[in-house]
Structures are given as structure tokens and as C-alpha cells.
Structure 1
């Protein structure tokens, strides 16, 4: 399988850098090949075109992230702790890979409708993970029974997404990961059972 070959990952990692530094439309396949240290033709052994590279890199990076986050949150029994960890993991991942942050927050959004639909497919597993945390919180009595899961999920994802986009637009000048706990607490205050 292509995904298990080292050059596949080499090209994906190179594409993240090339797209972040040049923008999706200016990151020709030749630039990605040069960044990966492979011949232009090698790219086509693994990917159909540049669009395929962009979708694959998002599937690869987001897939790995969702998998790791899913494993990590299993170590926490409380839904509130799971949500805190999810926010922290998301901020940490993009803080550690600033090029990926630029690609996910800016470049993926400038793509065409068909591409965005494919990206939304990849996002579904992440949104499902948020839903599971919220349902767990309702079931355990941590979150109120009347909590609208769909709306709460939109608030969580929207908050995380906007905070990362703002950080990217500000040239990543401050410590994004440092605000993870405060952001999670603000969200949790809206979901939690009322204290008497």
C-alpha cells in the first residue's frame, strides 16, 4: 500500500511546508517535489494531482490526530477532563507544526467546493469524537440533560477553530497552547450542571 511507503510521508510533509510557504495555488507540484527531495514524476506515483496531495495530507494529519486524541481521552473518566484534553491536544498539535496550522486554517479554506466537501468528510470523525464526549457528559450527569449536542459541538469546534485562525493571522506570536485550559473552562461553564 502506498501509504506505508516512506516517500508517501516524505511528500506529505513536504507539501505541508510548500503549501504553507507559497500558498496552495502557487505551490506547484515541482515545488513540492523539490521540498521532498524527489523527482516531479515520483509525486505522480503516489498522487493523482495537487488536489489529491492536499486532501491526502489533511486525511493523514487529521486522521492521526483524531486517533491519538481518541486514545488520550480514554485515559480520562470525566467528560470535562476529556474536553480539556481535546482542546489542549488540538492547540498543541498546531503549535508544534506551524506550517500545518497555516495549511489547515488558511489554505484549505481557499479551495473549491468539491475539495471542501472531501475535507468535511475527514472532519466528521473529529466532530463525532466531540459528540461522544458531550454524550458521555450527559450520561454521567456532568452536563445537563437538555444540552443540545449539535449546538454544543459547533460551539466547541467553532471556538477552537477561530482561536487557531486568529493565532495564525497574528503570525503565531503568542503561546496558543497556554490558552487551552481557559478556553475549555469557558466552554464547560455553558454545558455543566448548575451548582446549587
Structure 2
């Protein structure tokens, strides 16, 4: 399988850097090949075109990230803890790789509808993780029983996404990780079971 070959990972990592530094539109395949230390033609053994590289990059990085989150939240005993883990890991993943943060928050927001649909497909698994946490919180009676799952999913992901985008737009001048607990508290308060 191509994805297990070392050059595949080399090209993906090079693409993250090149796209972050030059922008998607100015990132020629030849620049990515040069950064990866491979011939231009080698890239086409793994990817159809530049768009395929961008989608594959997102699939690869997001896939690994979702697996880590799924593993980590298994160790937590309730939905509130799981939500905090998800927030911290979301921020940590991007705080520790500023090139990836630029690519996911800015360059993946291309106007190309086909590209957006492919990216949404990759995100479905992440949304399921959020859904499971919220469902668990509702079962535990920590979260309101009448929550609209679609709305909650958008709220949780949208909050994380927007806070990271804001951090990227501010040239990553502050500590993203320090926002974890505040964001967690806001979300928990919003999801909380109402007591009369």
C-alpha cells in the first residue's frame, strides 16, 4: 500500500511545509518534490495532482489525530473528562506543528466545492467522536437531555476550529493550550443538565 511507503510520508510532510510557507496556489508540485528530496515524477506515483496531495495530507494527519483522540478518551471515566481531552489534543496537535495549523486553518479553506466535500468526508469520523462524548454526557445526566446533536457537534467543532484559526491569524503569538480549560468550561456550561 502506497501510504506505508516512506516516500509517501516524506512527500506529505514536505507538502505541509511548502503549502504553509507559499500558500496552496503558489505551491507547485516541483517545489513539494524539491522539499521532499524526490524527483517531480515520483510524486505522481503516489498522487494524481496537487489537490490530491492536499486531500491526502488532511486524511493522513487527521486520521492519525482521530486515532490518538479515540485512544486517549478511552482512558477517561466520564464525558466531561473526555471533552477536555478532545479540546486539549485538538489544540496540542496544531500548537506543536505551526505549518500544519496554517494548512488546516487557512489553506484547506479553498473555494473548490469538490475539495470541501472530500475534507468533510474525512471530518465525519471526528464528528462521530464528538457525538459519542455528548451522548455519553446525556446518559450520565451531566448534559441536557434535549440537546440537538447536530447543533452541539457544530458548536463544539466550530468553537475549536475558530479559536485555532484566530490563533493562526494572530501569528500564533499566544499560548493556544492555555485556552483549553476556559473553552471546556464554556462548553460544559452550555451543555449542562438544567436543574430546576
TM norm structure 1? 0.98
The CA distance in 1 between the partners of 2:91 and 2:47, in whole Å, is: 29
- Following superposition of structure 1 onto structure 2, how do residues 1-196 of structure 1 map, counting pairs within 5 Å? 1-194=1-194
The CA distance in 1 between the partners of 2:152 and 2:120, in whole Å, is: 18
5+ residue gaps, structure 1, are none
How far is the alpha carbon of 1:194 from its aligned partner? 3.1
The CA distance in 1 between the partners of 2:30 and 2:17, in whole Å, is: 13
Give the root-mean-square deviation of aligned CA atoms.
Answer: 0.9
3-state DSSP of counterpart to 2:10? helix
The CA distance in 1 between the partners of 2:29 and 2:146, in whole Å, is: 50
The CA distance in 2 between the partners of 1:150 and 1:105, in whole Å, is: 22
How far is the alpha carbon of 1:142 from its aligned partner? 1.3
The CA distance in 2 between the partners of 1:145 and 1:193, in whole Å, is: 7
Deviations 1:108-167 (A, max 9, x none): 102411011000000100011100100011111111211222111111111101100000
5+ residue gaps, structure 2, are none
The CA distance in 1 between the partners of 2:144 and 2:49, in whole Å, is: 48
3-state DSSP of counterpart to 1:109? coil
Aligned length: 196
TM norm structure 2? 0.98
